[in-house]
Amino acid sequence: MQLLTRQWAALAAAVCLLVTARAVAQPVRCNAEVDQALARANGASQKDVAAELDKALALLDKAVGDDASAECHRLMAFSLAWRADVDGVPEAARRGLRRIAIFQLETAVQKNPNDARAWELKAQAEEDLGLYLEGAGTYNALAWVQPKHTFARGARVRLLVKAGKLEEALAAAREWVAAQPEDWEAHLGLGLRLEALGQVEEAIAEFERSTALDEGIDTAPLAHGSLLAKLGRWKEAEAAFARVDAAEYLLGWYSQGVCRVKQGDAKAARAWMNKLEQEEDGGALARRLLTFIKAPGAVPVLGLAAYETR
């Protein structure tokens, strides 16, 4: 009972942040005055940010009463979520602040369904509370309201995965590709969902499509090559890793060296190792490749995990 009492007390403390004496005679609007208060909080030191945010929340509470616009509710929710992240807030109070923020954001999107930032903040608050299905639903609603939104569909897939709904995540990824067929991330996301469910040939096809659309990120060919390597298709994997030639080019070299080892060509693998040694940041990968050359029967470390030191 004492624990429950303490939890309710902490939640009540969170709610009390919104209670202010409405002594200001002039109406407060969500414009310069609120912006200035939030700017002061943003510029405050760590020890003062809580106090500045509480002042901003008091002002926002008055503004919501006077203005009641979607923008005011969104700014209130943003400030509440920010306040929840300040050091020293008890966990129960932190969760209470986020729940109040969600209520404010529900009001905001009712008033203005096209407010993309309000939808995003709502989904983020739901994710922070572990409400992954609710967050996925919020991102889905955002995608319906704004079909060209840049990340709503991908975020929906991610939260469905976090919720353990893998079949639903696959279906959502297919919808993502259908809505944004020229988006390399959509094809990559679908490929990863297919791979997770064992549909490897279709996953490989999606990784190939993603690689063709990849804007020098290297994520897609890494995923493509890693899957082919898991299947023991080393020659195909080598060809995929050869396309890792932008930001992660060192990882591409290392991976091609691994593929040469698995195809019985240690000499070519050493050539890749030598190239890595000549690069300022290639030493760790070169040493890892040398270890594998000496023990070709070991399971190679591929993908970004190869960067990790042992």
Maximum CA extent, the chain: 83
Predicted confidence at residue 87, as pLDDT, reads: 86
For residue 189, the number of C-alpha atoms closer than 13 Å in the C-beta half-sphere is 29
SS3 82: helix
Predicted confidence at residue 73, as pLDDT, reads: 92
* Interval 255-287: pLDDT, tens: 999 999 999 999 999 999 999 999 999 999 999
Taking the model in full, what pTM does it have? 0.83
SS3 64: helix
pLDDT higher than threshold 90 for residue 24: no
Q: Quick check: 165 and 135 in contact, CB under 8 A?
A: no
Give residue 218's Cα distance to chain centre.
Answer: 18
* Interval 150-199: pLDDT, tens: 999 999 999 999 999 999 999 999 999 999 999 999 999 999 999 999 99
- How many CB atoms lie under 10 A from the CB of residue 214? 22
- How many CB atoms lie under 10 A from the CB of residue 249? 13
Query: Highest mean pLDDT range out of 1-10, 12-21, 226-235?
Result: 226-235
* Interval 59-97: pLDDT, tens: 888 888 776 788 889 999 999 999 999 988 899 999 999
Predicted confidence at residue 65, as pLDDT, reads: 77
CA torsion, ordered 66, 69, 71, 77, to nearest 10 deg: 70
Averaged pLDDT of the chain: 89
Percent of the chain with pLDDT over 90: 71
Predicted confidence at residue 253, as pLDDT, reads: 97
* Interval 96-128: pLDDT, tens: 999 999 999 999 999 999 999 999 999 999 999
- Fold classification of 8-18+52-129 is 1.25.40
SS3 69: coil
Q: Quick check: 225 and 231 in contact, CB under 8 A?
A: no
More confident: 61 or 242? 242
pLDDT higher than threshold 80 for residue 6: no
Confidence band, pLDDT 50/70/90 cuts, at residue 22? very low
Q: What is the sign of the dihedral through the CA atoms of 223, 228, 230 and 231?
A: positive
